[in-house]
Structure 1
């Protein structure tokens, strides 16, 4: 399943049209569109609303360990050498009000520029004149401190999503819409957001679809019962995504040689005081499994 979150309908429109999504009328508090294994919902703008809507949606439709969550939308940039419309894959999320930092696990090859993004309750502009023109904006130089991109939802979505998903399942893609200066205040109202995102729809969707296809290929050698047990085991071992992939490789090899692995790994797990108390302890248990599976 691919779960797409966009703050505004104009940001969501290119994906709704590309995937031919249909509105889900069972939702009344916010808009949801879906088709087969793709669902898109509109969060609204700002950290609080987007976090509440995301928690509400993921509570009603809990994601599995095979799902991906994609937050897509526009962002401001202080890098004026980057053209408007440049696609950014966010590798670091900063909450402006608290300074808290979050790191999505980017484990996959991709064609995008990476960068850190800072999230605020207000639109962010650089010049004093801009702030005087629009008193609700925040002056960029007050808080950017070297961080290149800015939006109003990313960190809030991460904080809500981490209760349901793992860091490698969450992807934050932003498209530069303005340079956070006085000219942006005057031109933003005339911005065609849908067209800006539409110009990048193919490169984004091709990458996401390839990601989903590769995930299916990698896991199709495990049957449903095996995947369910592995999900339980990984949660109890507190393994990182990298360590999960490592153990899966050992299990694939063991299954290739012996025909199945479920009964043996359950037997091994009986000797462990699960759940692990920490990732360090989980790493010790991983070494135990690896040693016995060889």
Structure 2
């Protein structure tokens, strides 16, 4: 199952219709679910996006990938009004943190860097990319459960960084221009399923990139990972233990390796 998040109901409504989703009552957030997708309306802001994404990942354990779709602002020289763009990197303005999804699938969109800001941008800023208020929170939360190649952000330019939109006109244009996004969302599961046979290799590759392993440890990781995935183990459990960068100390490296060993062998 794939998680789709939007910040606003106006972004979610046409997606719900096009993907054939049904509202689920009595949840912590507005939730719409189908056989292959679950859509959650997170609310505006990186903190809300992070909280809702983490909640959804835990609430629906069958999720193996996540996509954020919705509005963004962009200067005319960056992207055209009402154009879809594929996010190639995410900079959180408040923290300065940079996140980079792995773009492995071919797509029809212009690629752009995303700046996630804490407040509405009402004028041009010094940024050669698109701007939103949720992307960094979504990505950082999703990254705790799945690998970067299983996370995508596609954004629709709703305004040229004016901070305001004409609600009715924007809603209509968004719904009418949804085809590229829906096509991508529908094709993505097939692309990801095609990668499943490579899952042990990719999982081991992520471990080897983020830990200092001896040749013996690498041998055991490959052996453990194959068995773990064959038993139906969740790769997200492994990814959650991996550090963002190789540990500086041997003791920290060893602690993480032992934690991975426990996950693989249980």
Q: Same fold (TM over 0.5)?
A: yes
Q: What aligned pairs does 1:274-289 form with structure 2 within 5 A after superposition?
A: none
In structure 2, relative to structure 1, the CA distance for the partners of 1:166 and 1:63 (3 Å cut) is: farther
Partner of residue 148, structure 2: 167
Q: Give me the whole-angstrom Cα distance separating, in 2, the residues matched to 1:40 and 1:268.
A: 30
Contact 2:105/2:191 (<8 A) preserved: no
Q: Cα offset for 1:84?
A: 1.4
Matched, 1:155 2:152: no
**What are the superposed Cα offsets for residues 47-92 of structure 1, whole Å, 9 maximum, x if unpaired?**
111211111121222355xx22110001001225743110010101
- Corresponding residue for residue 100 of structure 1: 97
Distance 1:58 1:83, change over 3 A: same
Report the Cα distance in structure 2 between the residues aligned to 1:26 and 1:43, rounded to whole angstroms: 15
Q: Determine which of 149, 158, 180 is the counterpart of 1:203.
A: 180
Query: Would the aligned equivalents of 1:93 and 1:117 in 2 still touch at CA under 8 Å?
Result: yes
Unaligned runs of 5+ residues in structure 2 are 210-221, 228-240, 248-266
Q: Answer whether contact 1:62 1:164 (CA < 8 A) is retained.
A: no
Change (3 A) 1:266 1:81: closer
Structure 1 residue ranges without an equivalent (≥5): 127-139, 241-264, 281-294
Task: Calculate the TM-score normalised by the size of structure 2.
Answer: 0.73
Number of residue-to-residue matches in the alignment: 223
> Deviation per CA, 1:265-292, whole angstroms, max 9, x where unpaired?
749999xxxx999879xxxxxxxxxxxx
What RMSD over aligned residues (CA atoms) do the two structures have, in Å?
3.3
CA contact (8 A) 1:63 1:165 kept: no
Higher-Rg structure is 1
Q: d(CA) in 1 for partners of 2:78 and 2:102?
A: 27
> Residue 112 of structure 1 corresponds to which residue in structure 2?
109
Contact 2:78 2:129 in 1 (8 A): no
